[in-house]
Amino acid sequence: MFYYRRADFFTTFAYLNFYAMYPEMLVKPMKSELTNAGFEDLITPTAVDNAVKREGTVLLVFNSVCGCSAGAARPGILLSLKNDKKPDYLTTVFAGFDVEATAQARRYTLPYPPSSPSIALFKDGKLVHFIERHHIEGHSANMVAENLKAAFDEYC
C-alpha cells in the first residue's frame, strides 16, 4: 500500500485526482445522463465556487457510480425537472472521479457529512435544501423527484 504524506491539503487532493477512483470510460456514460439534460459538469474547485455563488437557485448533484445513483438519484432528478418551478442553474460533480471539485462542493454542504449520491439546492449562495444518500438509497426515483419538486416550489 502506498502512503502519501504531505502537509499541503490541496496538493494531496491534486494527487488523489490524478489517481481517481474510477476510470473515465466507466464514469463518462453516468456523467452524460445529467450533462445531456443540461447539467454543467463542474470539474475544478473554481468552477464549483463560481457555480454555487451565483445569484438565484443552483441545483448541485453529487453524482456517483453506485446503484442508488443509477436507480433513484439520476432518474429522480430528471423527473423533478418536469415541474413548473425549476432551479436557475443545474450543476454536477462526480464523486470518486472529479476529486478536487467534489471536495470543494462538499465544503458548501457542511455540516452534512460527505455522501454520494446527494443533492444540494442553493439560493443566492446559501444551502437551502439537501438530500443525503440515506434519503435516496432504498427509495424510488418518484420519491426523490417529489422531494425535489417540493423544494423547487418553495425556493425557486
If you average pLDDT over residues 2-11, what whole number do you get?
39
Catalytic residue, from 43, 66, 77, 148: name it: 66
The structure's pTM equals 0.85
Q: Is the pLDDT of residue 7 over 70?
A: no
Residue 97 near residue 20, CB atoms below 8 Å: yes
Catalytic residue, from 42, 43, 68, 73: name it: 68
Q: Which residues contact 106 (CB under 8 A, 6 or more apart)?
A: 62, 114
Per the annotation, the verdict on 156 as an active-site residue is no
- Model confidence at 26, pLDDT cuts 50, 70, 90, reads confident
Question: The C-alpha cell of 34 is what?
Answer: 445529467
Could you read off the pLDDT of 38-71 as tens digits, one per residue?
Answer: 999 999 999 999 999 999 999 999 998 887 787 8
